[in-house]
Amino acid sequence: MKDIKFLGKPFPEVFRVAEESLAGISRDRIVMCGDTLHTDILGATARGWRTVLVERDGMFCGVDARAFCDRSALVPTRRLSRI
């Protein structure tokens, strides 16, 4: 039986796997686009990636994401309303 390994954001292992698939590309040239602060933005920022918070769809649909960024001190590199 093979060992089963679970990977998930914001834990470093899943981001490391993504980096391995992008061999030769430096971390500061990788961009994570996501709709959650504590998985997408936190995890990618911890790895030195750039980040884009998608605000109109997903978790922040209908609310002001800036207030949550300010309270959590998790600030994306950029913001988009949708992809």
Please, what's the b/e burial string for 19-43 (b: 16 or more CB within 10 A of its CB; e: otherwise)?
A: beeeeeeeeeebebbbbbbebbbbb
pLDDT digits (tens, 9 = 90+) for 26-75: 999 999 999 999 999 999 999 999 999 999 988 899 899 999 999 999 99
All domains in the chain, ordered by first residue = 12-80 (3.40.50.1000)
Task: Take residue 68 and report the two structure tokens written for it.
Answer: 């949550």
Band (pLDDT 50/70/90 cuts) for residue 1 is low
Q: How far apart are CA 46 and CA 5, in angstroms?
A: 21
**pLDDT at position 4 over 80:** no
Q: How far apart are CA 42 and CA 70, in angstroms?
A: 14
**Pick the residue with more confidence: 67 or 1?**
67
Please, what's the b/e burial string for 65-78 (b: 16 or more CB within 10 A of its CB; e: otherwise)?
A: beebbeeeebebee
